[in-house]
Structure 1
């Protein structure tokens, strides 16, 4: 687990119940709860154009992060079928990441943005801050896509209880591991 207490999606790692570290709320309907978010890294660079300094964004990378400290399971219901369903949430997030990473990168590719600030040091700092905000807005849209897809996944699989539909999803996720 990394310093910021998340697990990054990897084709070589599958969730274990020991990854679900939050105390489960006995009043909730669901037997398990996974918190999955997108993280991102990028490089911001700048160039001087006359008296203006413009920044541009490159090398955006998006990662899928499982949050153990926010994820929980009702111990009495912890079984392989349910764990496979929870892994499906993680895999679905990776699938959505792959479907959207190119569009995210192309949104900023070749574009230059004005900076603010009174001196070069301020402009560099604002370029970093502003570029992060621009990317975060786009990542939030991808997170919403994921949230909708997870709702649908939970509904059609009946939280993993519909074994036929769950098996179809499991097959859909298999290529992610190749």
Structure 2
């Protein structure tokens, strides 16, 4: 596999050990370490109402991203059970996204926001910048929710060693496929 900066979650792709491309720190207590985050895209439009130019945020898309160059595994520990646990972390991020995406979209879609700037071109540029910052704040909150849920997952599955709990989570992740 060519070195990839990110892998986006899809129902048809399962992680492989070759996706864990960072060198594993031998002093780490973890047998594996994955970096999972959210990315986003959106469209910003402007509308003139009287003498005011307002912007609208549309088409917010959120992706779950696995970062191969930041994810690692202890070479002596590459087994199916640990990989299933890591896939569960990736799946949990997708589940959290699906549970929260409509709330994020509802905060912005169909609403107008004031622009700043001295001329129309500057207002358009600043609307793009401002809308990105507004969405990024919501993505940070989503990342915080994910971190909390990942801690619960790690603890309840004993980092993939509790097969019964891992199976319970697998049932939840089946709805993603």
Normalising by structure 1, report the TM-score. Answer: 0.96
Distance 1:3 1:153 in 2: 28
Moved over 3 A (4+): 1-4
Q: Shift of residue 75 of structure 1?
A: 0.6
2:72 match: 72
| Unpaired runs of at least 5, structure 2 | none
> How many residue pairs get matched?
177
Q: Shift of residue 114 of structure 1?
A: 0.7
Counterpart check, 1:171 vs 2:174? no
1:21 match: 21
Q: Shift of residue 110 of structure 1?
A: 1.6
| Unpaired runs of at least 5, structure 1 | none
Distance 1:160 1:169 in 2: 11
C-alpha distance 59-2 of structure 1, shift in aligned 2 (>3 A) = farther
Distance 2:84 2:132 in 1: 34
Map 1:102-141 onto structure 2 (within 5 A). 102-141=102-141
Root-mean-square deviation (CA, aligned residues, Å) is 1.4
Q: Is the 8 A contact 2:4 2:68 kept in 1?
A: no
Distance 1:123 1:3 in 2: 39
Cα deviation 1:83-130 (Å, max 9, x = unaligned): 000000000000001000101100112211111111111000000000
**Of 6-15 and 43-52, the range deviating more from structure 2:** 43-52
1:30 match: 30
C-alpha distance 134-4 of structure 1, shift in aligned 2 (>3 A) = farther
Q: Shift of residue 3 of structure 1?
A: 9.5
Q: Is the 8 A contact 2:42 2:57 kept in 1?
A: yes
